[in-house]
């Protein structure tokens, strides 16, 4: 007897937990039929085994089952954000000016050189992981609402992670990201969203997280920073500053790594032997001089002797910000202060520029880490003040998944010419050619399984 199993290839944005669970059920059913046919020829050949480690959909719909479901969402988010050498923190750092591709893999190189195509398995894999984190959060939120209504902050945490997943898709990818859904019975393909629409969706998720956070300040502050970041990306700077008014400077929202789970993706990308990325300085004319000297404690690195995956890269410098099992930094209180300073800068007067300069020096003095104070005096033009603020943001938030979003905001909101913001001109040796003109990663080809999706929408 021959059994043919046909599995529908669904778009990443529609692959919810329930869909994946049903897929496992279909496969199990097919195997049972196949084995049954064999048993007809050889009675007694089957041994029935019940695996207590396998959870069914029904198992999740209980108060006890809700916890592993919630933990699964956290694990999916961690994988997407910085759970491997190809994760959100590393691919966005590569398209920005923090890292350079040191791989023979052309999809890495295309991201770095701003010359992507839809068939990019590296960026596409990160996109899919973020969509899976978002979809699994959707499913888990509904189950926790009925089976584990208390404490409410458990659902608040899921809304927060959903918000960050949505926001990262808006920050990292071109306009046109769809958000599909599935309720266990009906699949609804999402419509392509503009970049502003994606950020509005993320802001709404953060609002739900804040409403459910109760007294859990880890979740409330994390959601407040996430909301402010989405509002920044919408150009709503005053509202963004108000959202983080109560966030203390020493707050940090971590995702967690350990020897029993995933290692830190930045460490995997830029500290191990034969790595696919190298930390970069002065990339493509416009890149910041992150590694110039050893005096800025925010840029933790040392000269190295490693050879990259592409063996033409030798003596790779090593980042020291994250160790193998160090927790990743999703957001922190210093970012909240920088958001408030950016809102103040919108006033456009010299008094505003003076206040922002003083605020940046206050951050340097208090940290952590403490950084030597600037002594040049406040910038005298608005453009120079924006340059200074975004340079300080780049140093404070180095390798935490912020830099590409900052570059896009300089183009989208501040109307800078992309070729004055992104690495441009001749690509670094040993590569040959010039940088492309993309300002965001391309939504992967797999999303064309969604009949509503026709490719990136116009816009930055």
Whether the Cβ atoms of residue 144 and residue 411 lie closer than 8 Å to each other: no
Q: For the domain with range 1-39+66-427+434-460, which CATH number is right: 3.30.1300.10, 3.30.479.30, 1.25.40.390, 3.40.50.10260?
A: 1.25.40.390
> Would you place residue 62 in the very low, low, confident or very high pLDDT band (cuts 50, 70, 90)?
confident
Decide: helix, strand or coil at residue 447: helix
Q: Phi and psi of 185, rounded to 5°?
A: -125, -50
- pTM for the full model? 0.89
Rg (CA), the chain: 23
DSSP string, 334-403: HHHHHHHHHHHHTT-SHHHHHHHHHHHHHHHHHSSSP-PPP-S---SSHHHHHHHHHHHHHHHTTTTT-H
Rounded CA separation 28/54 (Å): 12
Q: Where are the domains of the chain?
A: 1-39+66-427+434-460
- pLDDT at site 53: 61
Rounded CA separation 142/122 (Å): 31
DSSP string, 308-338: -SSTT--SEEEE-SS-TTPPEEEEEHHHHHH
In the numeric block, which tokens belong to residue 69? 């479901």
- pLDDT at site 52: 59
Reply yes or no on whether the pLDDT at 184 is more than 80: no
Which residues are 249's β-sheet partners? Answer: none
Closest of 219, 123, 218, 232 to residue 162, by C-alpha: 219
Average pLDDT over residues 240-250: 98
Asked if the peptide bond before residue 368 counts as cis, ω within 30 degrees of 0, the response is yes
Name the least confident of 202-206, 305-309, 366-370.
Answer: 305-309
Q: Find tokens 């918000």 and name the residue.
A: 163
Average pLDDT over residues 5-28: 38
DSSP string, 68-92: HHHHHHHHHHHHHHHSSSSSHHHHH
Average pLDDT over residues 154-160: 98
Decide: helix, strand or coil at residue 192: strand
Reply yes or no on whether the pLDDT at 438 is more than 70: yes
Decide: helix, strand or coil at residue 255: strand
Mean pLDDT comparison of 20-24, 55-59, 175-179, highest-scoring range: 175-179
User: Who has greater pLDDT, 289 or 11?
Assistant: 289
- pLDDT at site 50: 56
> Would you place residue 383 in the very low, low, confident or very high pLDDT band (cuts 50, 70, 90)?
very high
**387-409 pLDDT per residue, tens:** 999 999 999 999 999 999 999 99
> Would you place residue 164 in the very low, low, confident or very high pLDDT band (cuts 50, 70, 90)?
very high
Closest of 156, 50, 83, 182 to residue 401, by C-alpha: 83
- Contacts of residue 44, Cβ cutoff 8 Å, sequence gap at least 6: none
| Helix pair 63-82, 121-147: axis angle to 10 deg | 160
Counting residues of the chain whose pLDDT is more than 70, the rounded percentage is 87
Rounded CA separation 112/126 (Å): 15
Rounded CA separation 253/289 (Å): 27
Asked if the peptide bond before residue 202 counts as cis, ω within 30 degrees of 0, the response is no
Reply yes or no on whether the pLDDT at 10 is more than 60: no
- pLDDT at site 21: 40
Asked if the peptide bond before residue 369 counts as cis, ω within 30 degrees of 0, the response is yes
Rounded CA separation 262/386 (Å): 37
Whether the Cβ atoms of residue 398 and residue 334 lie closer than 8 Å to each other: no
Decide: helix, strand or coil at residue 99: strand
**85-116 pLDDT per residue, tens:** 999 999 999 999 999 999 888 999 999 999 99
Rounded CA separation 213/385 (Å): 36
β-pairing, 328-332 vs 99-101, is unpaired
């Amino acid at each position: 007897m021959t059994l043919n199993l046909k599995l529908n290839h669904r778009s990443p944005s529609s692959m919810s937990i329930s869909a994946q669970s049903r897929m496992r059920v279909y496969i199990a059913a097919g195997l049972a039929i196949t084995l049954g046919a064999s048993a007809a020829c050889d009675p007694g050949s089957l041994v029935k085994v019940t695996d207590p480690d396998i959870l069914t959909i029904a198992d999740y719909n209980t108060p006890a089952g809700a916890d592993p479901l919630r933990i699964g969402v956290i694990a999916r988010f961690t994988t997407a954000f910085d759970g491997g050498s190809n994760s959100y923190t590393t691919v966005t750092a590569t398209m920005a000016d923090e890292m350079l591709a040191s791989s023979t893999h052309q999809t890495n190189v295309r991201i770095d050189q701003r010359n992507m195509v839809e068939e990019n398995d590296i960026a596409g894999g990160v996109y899919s992981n973020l969509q899976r984190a978002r979809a699994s959060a959707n499913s888990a939120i509904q189950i926790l609402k009925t089976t584990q209504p208390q404490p409410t902050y458990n659902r608040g945490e899921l809304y927060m992670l959903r918000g960050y997943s949505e926001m990262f898709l808006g920050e990292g990818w071109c306009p046109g990201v769809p958000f599909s859904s599935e309720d266990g019975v009906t699949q609804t393909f999402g419509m392509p969203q503009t970049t502003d629409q994606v950020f509005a969706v993320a802001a709404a998720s953060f609002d739900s997280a804040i409403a459910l956070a109760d007294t859990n300040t880890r979740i409330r502050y994390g959601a407040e920073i996430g909301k402010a970041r989405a509002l920044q990306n919408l150009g709503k700077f005053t509202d963004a500053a108000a959202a983080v008014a109560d966030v203390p400077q020493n707050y940090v929202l971590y995702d967690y790594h350990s020897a029993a789970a995933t290692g830190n993706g930045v460490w995997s990308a830029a500290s191990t032997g034969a790595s696919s990325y190298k930390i970069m300085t002065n990339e493509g004319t416009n890149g910041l001089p992150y590694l110039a000297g050893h005096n800025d404690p925010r840029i933790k690195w040392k000269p190295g002797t490693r050879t990259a995956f592409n063996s033409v890269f030798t003596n790779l410098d090593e980042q020291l910000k994250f160790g193998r099992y160090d927790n990743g930094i999703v957001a922190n209180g210093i970012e909240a202060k920088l958001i408030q300073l950016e809102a103040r800068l919108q006033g456009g007067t010299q008094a505003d520029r003076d206040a922002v300069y003083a605020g940046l020096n206050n951050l340097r003095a208090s940290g952590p880490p403490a950084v030597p104070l600037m002594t040049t005096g406040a910038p005298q033009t608005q453009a120079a003040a924006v340059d200074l603020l975004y340079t300080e943001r780049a140093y404070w938030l180095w390798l935490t998944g912020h830099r590409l979003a900052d570059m896009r905001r300089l183009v989208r909101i501040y109307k800078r010419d992309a070729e004055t913001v992104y690495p441009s001109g001749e690509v670094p040796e040993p590569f040959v050619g010039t940088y492309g003109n993309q300002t965001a990663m391309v939504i992967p080809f797999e999303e064309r399984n969604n009949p509503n999706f026709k490719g990136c929408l116009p816009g930055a």
